[in-house]
């Protein structure tokens, strides 16, 4: 007999073995009252942190493609690798330096542990560069001190200081390169704040940091361990308690273990951070690094210049997927294939109305329901904003027909035709393309020629100012030519009379509308007629022709054929 496990069954996951992350004693926190008003200094770590997280790390071609894309986007600081740990990284470092591939104003960054042989090899890698950030790190968390290194606080400080001293000496031996020191107390989020402060201040003092010779203090959430507000408290506490704050650039390096890296970065910036390290779409160890594209576009939506060029998101996605061999998910913020796409009927209707209102407005402000950003700002078109499946509604169908084919169907016709589309979507179980929607519209309203098909028509004069027209209409009736004749105040009225007398089809017009489709010589009239049948049904007919009278008569034929189905 099989038993279904319950939370109390032996072997079930036990939440009791985890403890809440401690609060930061910061009763007068200021960050909740701040707003982000400018972009941080961005540093891409796609070529190092992102690369080391790949199943198959990038080769030279992919590294160059990623580097070129980061330059086009406007990154001024790019961590290009760990030259002392990888021959591929070392060779790439030499290639772009010796090949003159680093533009003026762009600073490369290289990572090294605080070990003498690695630091010396790192300097071999950056030899000849104009400016380089040497990123020194060692683990500082209480857990790593205890279970990995077996060292006390002073032992960990000694490692950081020794590495800093060596970098300072080697920098003096290579005056052709402006060396900027960056120090990371790795696993900052798991390090006691007072100790993180102590070790960073020791590094700053050793380096001789000043307002004109700043150290980058990178405070990594190597493992995301708390809610974003606690991370912000940590950053604010650190910034407020750091000696010589003006001698340091405070940098964030959030990981995404809890899925809140973007929020943690934003709140960390509000808490006083100046700089953010991340990857384009959040690629990185475990659940990834912070997503720089999302962060930058979040700023953009608030009217803040992100200082990165993301106006061709499709190309950035293409390069990223090529370089990392990882797909960007369809629902990824801003970049995903479907993030600006609505299938839901109510969403489609609201978007359709919002886009129309925008064209009528004189405001330059973007206000469209369900679209927090204009897809065109990212190089996307409106073509895929509304897509049709079994969840879609009349508004989306109307949008597709108008946008792609210029057919502006009246609201009640939208309701009627949506049932046709719904039936097709339910039967196929698939998404319908604009071509599918148009084909269904034509089949239902424009192409049906049974039992009647309009062949030609003419009007007989009935004397001046008589107000009455006699209409002669030649139709194909069940495949055989027939002439119908009727009279009325206009061609529509006369044709209704002809249908009653000659075909036994009794229709009464409820509403009539028309509009032009296309421009110039190719323009056609599109006529919509809503009729009521003898048995009290209401339905539509649609006709198109270069001549408006012919289009109107075709619409009545369409309605007549649908009435006798």
Spatial separation of the C-alpha atoms in residues 192 and 466, rounded to whole Å: 98
* CA-wise closest residue to 239 among 188, 173, 298: 188
Distance CA 507, CA 145 (A): 88
Known binding residue 289? Answer is: yes
- What are the phi and psi torsion angles at 394 (to 5°)? -65, -35
- Residue 174 counted as an annotated binding residue: no
The verdict on whether residue 253 carries a ligand-binding annotation is: yes
Tokens matching residue 146: 């205890």
Q: How many Cβ atoms from other residues are within 10 Å of residue 413's Cβ?
A: 24
- Residue 375: phi and psi, rounded to 5, are -55, -30
Residue in this structure with the two tokens 């050793």, named with its chain if needed: 206
Q: Could you tell me if 390 and 418 are in contact, meaning their C-beta atoms sit under 8 angstroms apart?
A: no
H helix or E strand, kind and range, residue 543? strand 538-545
Pairwise CA distance, residues 246 & 553, whole Å = 80
Alpha carbons 16 and 338: distance in angstroms, whole number: 40
* 480-488 sheet: strands from edge to edge: 452-460, 469-477, 480-488
Other beta carbons within 10 Å of 56: 8
CB neighbours (10 Å) of residue 564?
A: 12
CA distance 166 to 519: 74
Q: Is residue 392 within 8 Å of residue 348, measured between CB atoms?
A: yes
Residue 94: enclosing H or E segment and its boundaries? helix 87-98
Fill in the DSSP letter of residue 224.
Answer: -
Q: Is 364 annotated as a binding residue?
A: no
CA atoms of 311 and 375, how far apart (whole Å) = 10
Token pair of 368 as six digits? 């469209």
Q: Which residues are annotated as a binding site?
A: 49, 253, 255, 289
- Which residues are annotated as part of the binding site for Mg(2+)? 49, 253, 255, 289
């Amino acid at each position: 007999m099989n038993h279904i496990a319950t939370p109390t069954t032996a072997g079930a996951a036990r939440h009791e073995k985890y403890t809440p992350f401690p609060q930061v004693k910061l009763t007068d926190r200021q960050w909740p009252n701040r707003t982000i008003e400018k972009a941080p200094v961005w540093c891409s770590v796609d070529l190092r942190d992102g690369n080391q997280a790949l199943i198959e790390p990038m080769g030279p071609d992919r590294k160059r493609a990623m580097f070129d894309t980061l330059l086009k986007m406007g990154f001024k600081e790019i961590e290009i690798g760990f030259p002392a740990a990888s021959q591929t990284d070392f060779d790439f470092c030499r290639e772009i330096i010796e090949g003159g591939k680093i533009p003026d104003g762009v600073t490369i960054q290289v990572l090294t542990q605080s070990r003498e042989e690695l630091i010396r090899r790192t300097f071999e890698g950056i030899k000849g560069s104009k400016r380089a950030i040497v990123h020194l790190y060692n683990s500082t968390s209480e857990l790593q001190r205890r279970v990995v290194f077996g060292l006390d606080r002073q032992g960990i400080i000694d490692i950081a200081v020794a590495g800093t001293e060596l970098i300072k000496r080697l920098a003096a031996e290579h005056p052709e390169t402006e060396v900027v020191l960056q120090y990371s107390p790795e696993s900052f989020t798991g390090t006691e704040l007072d100790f993180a402060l102590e070790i960073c201040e020791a590094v700053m003092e050793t380096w001789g940091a000043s307002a004109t010779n700043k150290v980058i203090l990178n405070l990594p959430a190597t493992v995301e361990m708390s809610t974003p507000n606690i991370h912000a408290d940590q950053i604010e506490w650190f910034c407020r308690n750091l000696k010589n704050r003006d001698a340091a650039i405070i940098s964030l390096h959030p990981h995404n273990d809890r899925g809140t890296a973007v929020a943690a970065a934003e709140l960390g910036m509000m808490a006083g951070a100046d700089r953010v390290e991340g990857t384009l779409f959040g690629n990185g160890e475990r659940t990834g690094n912070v997503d720089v594209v999302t962060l930058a576009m979040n700023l953009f939506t608030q009217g803040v210049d992100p200082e990165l060029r993301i106006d061709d998101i499709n190309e950035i996605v293409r390069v990223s997927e090529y370089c990392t061999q990882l797909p960007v998910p369809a629902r990824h913020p801003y970049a995903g294939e479907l993030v600006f796409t609505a299938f839901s009927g109510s969403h489609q209707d609201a978007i359709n109305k919002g886009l129309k209102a925008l064209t009528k407005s004189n405001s330059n402000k973007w206000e469209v329901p369900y679209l927090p950003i204009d897809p065109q700002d990212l190089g996307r078109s409106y073509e895929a904003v509304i897509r049709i499946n079994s969840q879609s509604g009349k508004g989306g169908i109307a949008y597709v027909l108008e946008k792609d084919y210029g057919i502006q169907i009246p609201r009640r016709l939208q309701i009627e035709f949506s049932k046709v589309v719904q039936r097709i979507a339910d039967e196929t179980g698939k998404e319908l393309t604009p071509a599918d929607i148009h084909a269904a519209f034509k089949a239902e309203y424009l192409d049906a020629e049974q039992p009647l098909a309009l062949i030609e028509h003419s009007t007989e004069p009935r004397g001046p100012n008589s107000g009455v027209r006699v209409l002669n209409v030649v139709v194909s009736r069940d495949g055989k030519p027939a002439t119908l004749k009727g009279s009325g105040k206009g061609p529509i009225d006369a044709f209704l009379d002809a249908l009653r007398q000659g075909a036994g089809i009794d229709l009464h017009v409820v509403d009539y509308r028309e509009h032009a489709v296309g421009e110039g010589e190719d323009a056609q009239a599109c006529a919509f007629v809503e009729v009521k049948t003898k048995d009290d049904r209401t339905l539509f007919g649609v006709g198109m022709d270069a001549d408006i009278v012919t289009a109107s008569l075709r619409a009545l034929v369409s309605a007549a054929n649908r009435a006798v189905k």
